[in-house]
Homo-oligomer: A and B are copies of this chain.
Amino acid sequence: MTPPAATAPNAAELRTVRTPAGQAKDRILDTAFRLFYAQGLRAAGIDTIIAESGVAKATFYKYFPAKDDLILAYLERVDGVWTGQLHAAAEAAGPDPSDQLVGLFDALSTACRRDGYRGCAFINAAAESASGTRVHERTVAHKQHILAWIRDLADKAGVQDPDRLARSLTLVLDGGLASGVLDADPAAAAAARATAAQLVAAALAPSPAPK
């Protein structure tokens, strides 16, 4: 009966406890989302993520064969969340595309007021990943999606040069996000919104040839 294993803890009172469902993966992703963003991709170790998820190591590696796979899944989730907030903020500004172009900057204000705000997860991830890696490529793709979406809004707003306006606005947005990793100053977000409003207004005006 008693196993001869000297190292094995007597399995009697062994709390293997629970196994809710196929939700171990979700717990891992939740923890990764939190730790990767708060500490950075490299600073957050696999062991810590496993421990805080309350998951067995074998389970972890079943779902994410390598750390990079988890990082990619994390970025995927961030993409969904952030894009959603951006769209929501834009739509909250009303049906007019030119209003939406300004309104989307409210997502920045909201984000930087959140506790533990540490700037843009994608910019931070790019800073930690070598170019050419899957992680880095993923961040580039994200930024391109955002740029395309803003360009689309600018197009609908009927400005003369949608590309130019979209470029300017993403610069301001990225600037606001990047400064967030330094200090989560709400004034920067407000300034970004004001600057965006100015740029959109100028793009809509008859424009006396700004140069």
Contact = CB atoms under 8 A, between A and B. Distances in A.
Given A191-B168, A195-B171, A131 B143 contact: no
Contacts of A187: 167
When all copies of this chain in the complex are counted, the total is 2
Interface of A: 39-40, 42-43, 118-120, 122-124, 126-128, 130-131, 136, 139-140, 143, 164, 167-168, 170-179, 181-183, 187-188, 191-192, 194-195, 197-199, 201-202, 210-211
Contact of A168 (B40, B119, B174, B195): B195
B191 A201 contact: no
- The A contact surface, by secondary structure, is helix
Nearest to A40: B128
Contact of A174 (B128, B170, B178): B178
B128 A128 contact: yes
Given A127-B128, A191-B164, A199-B195, A171 B182 contact: no
